[in-house]
Amino acid sequence: MLQSLASNSCVRLIQSHRSTWYFVSLVLGYILYLIFGAVVFSSVELPYEDLLRQELRAIKKQFLQENDCLSEERLEQFLKKALDASNYGVSILNNASANWNWDFTSALFFASTVLSTTGYGHTAPLSDGGKAFCIIYSVIGIPFTLLFLTAVVQRIMVFSTRRPIMYIHTRWGLSKPLVAIVHATVLATVAVSCFFLIPAAIFSALEENWNFLESFYFCFISLSTIGLGDYVPGEAANQRFRELYKVGITVYLILGLIVMLVVLETFCELQQLKQLRKMFYLKKEKPQDRLAILEHDHLSFTTVSRRAPSQNEDKMQPYVTALASPSDDPLIQ
């Protein structure tokens, strides 16, 4: 008997806090996913890092043996300055000295990566004034970009998603959730083809050292606003039409980001995903519950307001009685 009561109380407790339990499971699942990613990346990339370190040590040792007049300390200082400059996008190599990082087209490309929060990191402001302006520019520009993207996506969604789904639903009488799923799948396929596969083939042809996988990798890292910066187009020494190429990449990034947001918004409007999201959200207060609370407050206020005059009447009753019986007043007698 006690066990059944305890089990029933546990079931009622879980059902009453179902959204909380779903949220806790979501948090735990996200933490496990982070750990899973760390384990996979570490196991895959650590051997390559160790191999690269060994190769660099061997090259450095061979260079010092061939140049006895150069000490290891002087070489370390030179390499440190060269690497620090490379982190800011400045290279000391002869074939890379012709490319400027802060001409107009490169600065335009940098501004687009800042506002879209992609941030490749291959170029960074060198001066204190540039760093201060970058902070102010980002504080104003990122919310401005979010407002711009939201307005553009909202208008595109009307013509790309909502009207086609409603037209097919009313014209052929098909189920609206089914039409929405098929439409989202077709839209995602078109977006992947036009903004991932085709640009990857173009980048692999224009960039000498990129294969198709590396080009596709760049497209995904860029349009998902991850922006690792290990692959940046237009940085080759013998890049033809570099200024026009940089402008084209800037336009591609902005259009691709808009299309990705349209696809994500289309999937978010699917009925199945809406139900899935509701599992982890706090339940909104129902109008009936709100009305009951208001009625309860109104009744409480009415009761208090009724009690107050009655108490005042009770307090005034002796004085009223005294005034109502003049025979008891000695002056009147």
Full DSSP string of 14-63: HHHTHHHHHHHHHHHHHHHHHHHHHHHHHHHHHHHHHHHHHHHHHHHHHH
Q: What does the pLDDT look like over 245-268, one tens digit per residue? A: 889 999 999 999 999 999 999 999
Quote the strand ranges of the chain, DSSP E: none
pLDDT at 273: 84
- pLDDT single digits (tens) 163-200: 999 999 898 888 888 999 999 999 999 999 999 999 99
pTM: 0.73
User: Could you tell me the two tokens for 174?
Assistant: 């098909």
Kindly tell me the sign of the dihedral angle through the C-alpha atoms of 25, 27, 30, 32: negative
76-84's contacts with Cβ under 8 Å and 24+ in sequence apart are none
How long, in residues, is the chain?
A: 333
- What confidence tens digit (pLDDT) does each residue in 209-240 have? 899 999 999 999 999 988 888 888 887 767 77
Confidence of residue 14 (pLDDT cuts 50, 70, 90): low
pLDDT greater than 90 at residue 1: no
Do the beta carbons of residue 119 and residue 231 sit within 8 Å? no
In 3D, which of 204, 209, 261, 253 has the Cα closest to residue 227? 253
